[in-house]
Amino acid sequence: MSGWQDHLLIAPILLPMLAGIAAILIGDRSRTATRAVGLASCLGLVALSAALLAMADAPLVRVYRLGDWPAAFGIVLALDRLAALMLALAAALGLAAFVFSLARWQRAGSHVHPLFQFQLMGLNGAFLTGDLFNLFVFFEVMLAASYGLALHGSGIARVRAGLHYIVVNLVASLLFLVGVSVVHGIAGTHNMADLAARMPRIAPEDRALLEAGAAILLIAFLITAASWPLGFWLMPSYAAASAPAAPARRR
Amino acid sequence: MELVVSLAIGVLAGAGVWLLLRPRTFQVILGLGLLSHAVNLFIFSTGGLRSGAAPILRRGEAGTLADYADPLPQALVLTAIVISFATTALLLVVPLAARGLAGTDHVDGRERDR
């Protein structure tokens, strides 16, 4: 916990959050101001992720302790090469989707800009977090924003597809919770690094249960990411969503 | 106690899944509610089922593993309750909108042809 560089780690979460709040406060009073805030946040995220990408090499894993609790008790953010790369990818895609959405789509309904920023916040948080339960929380932030984006523009086709999308993802997040709690019950920790260290020392009779928990987690991830073979729900939902919302919804 | 809790979880989860697969949106919402109850109970039970065990010891008290409750699942279940409640409340808007737009409460937005 020294130097301003360490605090850069939380900036990809804070920046879109503040931009989203600003976009809500400005509302529809000034379209130009909302657009400028969104664009500034997206550009800032690209710059931030480039800086983090350059930083990711020096210590192999950079850890940011939220609230400065020791890692076993508190929640940590961790930046490694993969996280930095995913952040950069999300920032680039986010900027592209945002610029595209400026063309027309924001007029199709209200609150696109705050929802978009909160989605970026959830996405960045999910990449950065080093804690399994915190990952769940950021997933929910991302999903809650994506529910709004999926319905953006309204219309019967979108509402119908959005209903299916939301129910499927709610069930997936319940599965996620079951997986997390099984893993916690067996291994006694949520911290991903701690989990990896404890994994080899699990008693053989508990091993099957732990693997079952990990499998449930995997199923939850497969459903939310709509990977084969659990992507059956994806087609109607994406076909119905407004064009700039779809690429923003998944990395 | 284990038997009662596991039966409760099983019945809640079974009823929840059955309701979730029903064709009316109201039943789907109730099913999600029951399922999240089951999951919350499940998270709670992963901390170990003991009665009369304190999560935080008094100053000077020597704790043993036998009379100590894991506080972490209790904190997690609180978060899980709040999040699942909030997302279910968020979901409620969508069936209402679908009912208004489609004129039916079927999950597919139209009645099945008979």
Per-residue pLDDT tens over the stretch A141-174? 888 888 887 777 667 777 888 888 888 888 888 9
Arithmetic mean of pLDDT over chain A:
79
- Its sign, for the CA torsion B17, A176, B99, A231, is negative
Chain A contact for B17 (CB, 8 A cutoff): no
pLDDT attached to residue B14: 94
Per-residue pLDDT tens over the stretch B33-56? 999 999 999 988 887 777 777 777
Is A163 in Cβ contact with B98 (below 8 Å)? yes
From CA A179, how far away is CA B3, in angstroms rounded? 21
Is B95 in Cβ contact with A163 (below 8 Å)? yes
Dihedral, B64, B69, B73, B77 alpha carbons, nearest 10: -170
Which of B40, B56, B83 to probe the A interface (max A CBs under 10 A)?
B83
Interface of B with A in 69-88 (CB under 8 A): 72-73, 76, 79-80, 83-84, 86-88
- The whole-number average pLDDT for the span A234-246 is 54
Which of A111, A152, A166, A191 to probe the B interface (max B CBs under 10 A)?
A166
B77 or B63, which is more confident? Answer: B77
Is A154 in Cβ contact with B97 (below 8 Å)? yes
The domain ranges of chain B are 2-51+69-102
- The whole-number average pLDDT for the span A88-98 is 86
Report whether B31 contacts B16 (CB < 8 A). Answer: yes
Grade residue A82 by pLDDT with cuts at 50, 70 and 90. Answer: confident
Per-residue pLDDT tens over the stretch A134-149? 888 888 888 888 888 7
Q: Which strand (E) or helix (H) includes residue A43?
A: helix A31-55
**A249 pLDDT above the threshold of 50:** no
Other beta carbons less than 10 A from residue A130's beta carbon: 25
Query: What is the chain A residue with the closest CA to B44?
Result: A181
Q: Which strand (E) or helix (H) includes residue A76?
A: strand A76-79
Grade residue A104 by pLDDT with cuts at 50, 70 and 90. Answer: low
**A93 pLDDT above the threshold of 80:** yes
DSSP assignments along A127-192, one per residue: HHB-BHHHHHHHHHHHHHHHHHHHTTT--HHHHHHHHHHHHHHHHHHHHHHHHHHHHHHHH---BH
Grade residue A227 by pLDDT with cuts at 50, 70 and 90. Answer: low
Query: Beta partners for A63?
Result: A78
